[in-house]
Structure 1
Amino acid sequence: MSEKNENVYDLSFFMPGKTIEAEEIKVPISKRFVDKKGNIVPFIFKAITTERIDELEKETTTYKNVKGRGRVKDLDSQRFYARIAVESTVYPDFRSKDLREAYKTADPVEVAKRVLSVGGEYANWLNKAIEINGFEDELEDLEEEVKN
């Protein structure tokens, strides 16, 4: 490869320590959670790593023997996305011992369902966590950002 071409593809942007760390994002999920002054308490989210998402996918995948097709992978997508949401939610921490004991369940996903007991709240929470982890990024939007 000529020296001229090497400069065109600068890999330094992708080296460890050069990427921008995912930031925490505050988002109001429900009007029902207010502080002492009546202000809506926002949830705090932070994207999780690709490696952790891979682990969650493995944990929520089973295999079935299907006649004529052999062993087939079966992802429990609802549980998968709920687990991503739990892990992406910094505050409130649905994994906390206090919340799990208060809601009488060891499962952080069940804690989230009980806290976000109004259907739209739970859906808003899941959607925001999925979006923060880049699953909602439209390639066209990213391409537009690159152009600007």
Structure 2
Amino acid sequence: MSNLQAFFAQNVDQTITIKQVISTRFKDEEGNPIPFEFQAISREREKEIRKSCTKKERDRKRGMKTIIDEDSFIDKFVAACTVFPNLKDSDLQKSYGVMGEVDLLKAMLLPGEFTEALLVAQEVNGYDKDMNDLVEEAKN
């Protein structure tokens, strides 16, 4: 395979997934922590999430300005990347007394656990890589 062919759509790994224990509070039958599973989302999906968290607000000096609700974006981003447990499962949502993936994730996780989930969601989407690290990796 030539170097250029490595970039062809059919040769690119489309399903980047990371399994990680986010909390030791969720255990299997043997008492082992159950890992959550996170998957990368498309750039288009990220743009949809960002747009849903964006609003226009009037500013006295500049007229209209665009504001992104960062907390809402982060919540929706992490929920969109979480593939296990299935946050869309209605029985799971009912067990926590919530409706919707974002509300379920916030009800399930403690603040520190949510931060860990965010870090993994960022990693699976390539946000954990420093450009200098990528250059070094490419050299080797």
- TM-score, with structure 1 as normaliser: 0.86
**Residues 1:97 and 2:90 are matched in the alignment:** yes
Q: Secondary structure at 1:17's aligned position in 2? A: helix
Structure 2, unpaired ranges of 5+: none
Between the two proteins, what is the percent identity of the paired residues?
34
1:32 corresponds in structure 2 to: 25
2:114 corresponds in structure 1 to: 122
1:132 corresponds in structure 2 to: 124
Q: Which has the higher contact order (CA 8 A, sep 6+)?
A: 2
**Residues 1:45 and 2:38 are matched in the alignment:** yes
- Structure 1 distance, partners of 2:97, 2:72, is 19
**Residues 1:64 and 2:68 are matched in the alignment:** no
- Structure 2 distance, partners of 1:119, 1:56, is 21
Q: Cα RMSD (Å) of the superposition?
A: 1.5
Structure 1, unpaired ranges of 5+: 1-9
Is the Cα–Cα contact under 8 Å of residues 18 and 120 in structure 2 kept in the other structure? Answer: no
- Size of the aligned set, in residue pairs, is 138
- TM-score, with structure 2 as normaliser: 0.90
Between structure 1 and structure 2, the one with the greater Rg is 1
